[in-house]
């Protein structure tokens, strides 16, 4: 039976930039996922869950019939985020979702995972479905895997920091690399996650495993950057536009990587600014997904 949300709650979830990854599929979506390394960044994405607009809510009536589990507004625009719809169905909770995100969709920031995780987390405190962070992460991971929009963002976003996914799936072992500081990014275009993940991923996964092994041998931010760049090269994921920007950052003495999977360059410190670009700025987020409003 569908529960209709009657109260409002908010969650904050970082974006997640993947530097390298390997695809690990299993029959169970919980065990399906990716190994790899990435970095959680914020200002966080704000996800607010609200009671759904009523079927006779004036201009929303058509949309209400279209979205029986509620609507999603992303930075003011109504749109569909597949794993979020799936999560609402899995939970059996009807609610509207309002997202304020500094990061665009489809540019390699794991926004679909963040919104799904934020929805699962915020829903927990306004329904009688109590759950721990691990259970919430699992719900969101399953929805994202089944929607084929991501494989590893959710678990990394639940953790925060510079995250190593040593094993795939919702229950896989996670660790982090000590890292701190300013992050700059420049969105050049977009790549479709489902398209890349449905290609033959054997060579990509071998490159991802090699990159992860390199990072775990010497777990520092510098190794992360080097391994991510070697991975992008080996896996054939670089675009000309990305290579041009990364080369310019390196020529200016900085460090940058391509975000998987988006046509986005992410630099650490002032790498993109120093190279003369006008990037957006943020920082590493260490908190991971958390509630945005008092729960006492």
For its own copies (CB under 8 A), the number of binding residues is: 38
Rounded CA-CA distance 223/296 in Å is: 42
Structure tokens at 244: 């041009």
Candidates 28-36, 79-87, 97-105, 215-223 — which segment interacts with its own copies by CB under 8 A?
Answer: 215-223
What secondary structure letter does DSSP report for 68? T
Contact 103/130 with Cβ under 8 angstroms? no
Give strand pairing partners of 10. Answer: 48
CB of 217 to its own copies, least distance (A): 9
In the bound state with its own copies, the residue whose beta carbon lies nearer, of 105 and 281, is 281
In the bound state with its own copies, the residue whose beta carbon lies nearer, of 156 and 204, is 156
In the bound state with its own copies, the residue whose beta carbon lies nearer, of 192 and 283, is 283
Rounded CA-CA distance 169/34 in Å is: 7
Nearest CA to 23 among 249, 239, 196?
A: 196
CB of 180 to its own copies, least distance (A): 4
The binder of its own copies chosen from 75, 210, 216, 239 (CB under 8 A): 216
290 makes contact with its own copies (CB under 8 A): yes
253 makes contact with its own copies (CB under 8 A): no
296 makes contact with its own copies (CB under 8 A): yes
Nearest CA to 21 among 199, 123, 168?
A: 168
Candidates 17-25, 61-69, 119-127, 140-148 — which segment interacts with its own copies by CB under 8 A?
Answer: 119-127
The binder of its own copies chosen from 55, 57, 92, 181 (CB under 8 A): 181
The binder of its own copies chosen from 51, 104, 219, 234 (CB under 8 A): 219
269 makes contact with its own copies (CB under 8 A): yes
CB of 30 to its own copies, least distance (A): 16
220 makes contact with its own copies (CB under 8 A): yes
Rounded CA-CA distance 115/120 in Å is: 9
The binder of its own copies chosen from 39, 268, 275, 277 (CB under 8 A): 268
The binder of its own copies chosen from 160, 169, 172, 279 (CB under 8 A): 160
Give SS3 for 45. Answer: strand
Q: Annotate each residue in 123-152 with x if it binds its own copies (CB under 8 A) or - if it does not, as one string.
A: -xx----xxxxx-x----------------
CB of 289 to its own copies, least distance (A): 9
The binder of its own copies chosen from 6, 54, 80, 180 (CB under 8 A): 180
Greatest distance between any 2 Cα atoms in the chain: 60
Rounded CA-CA distance 216/164 in Å is: 8
Rounded CA-CA distance 141/116 in Å is: 8
287: buried, middle or exposed (CB in 10 Å: 19+, 13-18, 0-12)?
middle
Helices (H) and strands (E) in the chain, counts: 10, 14
Rounded CA-CA distance 235/141 in Å is: 24
194 makes contact with its own copies (CB under 8 A): no
Residue listed under structure tokens 């909770």 = 93
Rounded CA-CA distance 119/9 in Å is: 9
List contacts with its own copies (CB under 8 A).
121, 124-125, 130-134, 136, 160-161, 164, 175-182, 216, 218-221, 255, 268-269, 286-288, 290-296
């Amino acid at each position: 039976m569908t529960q209709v949300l009657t109260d409002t709650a908010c969650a904050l979830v970082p974006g997640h930039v993947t530097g390298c990854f390997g695809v690990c599929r299993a029959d169970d979506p919980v065990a399906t996922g990716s190994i790899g390394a990435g970095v959680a960044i914020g200002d966080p994405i704000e996800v607010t869950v609200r009671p759904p607009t009523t079927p006779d809510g004036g201009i929303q009536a058509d949309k209400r019939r279209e979205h029986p589990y509620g609507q999603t507004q992303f930075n003011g625009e109504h749109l569909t985020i597949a794993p979020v719809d799936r999560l609402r169905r899995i939970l059996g909770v009807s609610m509207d979702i309002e997202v304020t995100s500094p990061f665009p969709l489809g540019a390699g920031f794991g926004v679909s995972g963040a919104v799904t995780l934020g929805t699962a987390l915020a829903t927990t405190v306004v329904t009688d479905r109590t759950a721990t962070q691990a259970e919430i992460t699992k719900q969101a991971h399953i929805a994202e895997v089944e929607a084929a929009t991501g494989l590893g963002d959710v678990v990394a976003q639940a953790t925060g920091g510079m995250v190593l996914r040593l094993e795939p799936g919702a229950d896989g072992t996670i660790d982090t690399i000590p890292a701190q500081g300013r992050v700059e990014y420049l969105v050049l275009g977009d790549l479709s996650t489902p398209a890349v993940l449905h290609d033959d991923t054997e060579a990509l996964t071998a490159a991802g495993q090699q990159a992860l092994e390199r990072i775990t041998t010497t777990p520092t931010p510098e190794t992360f950057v080097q391994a991510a760049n070697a991975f992008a090269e080996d896996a054939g994921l670089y675009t000309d536009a990305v290579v041009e920007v990364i080369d310019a950052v390196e020529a200016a003495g900085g460090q940058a990587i391509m975000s998987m999977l988006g046509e986005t360059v992410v630099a650490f410190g002032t790498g993109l600014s120093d190279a003369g670009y006008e990037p957006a700025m943020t920082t590493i987020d260490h908190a991971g997904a958390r509630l945005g409003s008092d729960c006492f």
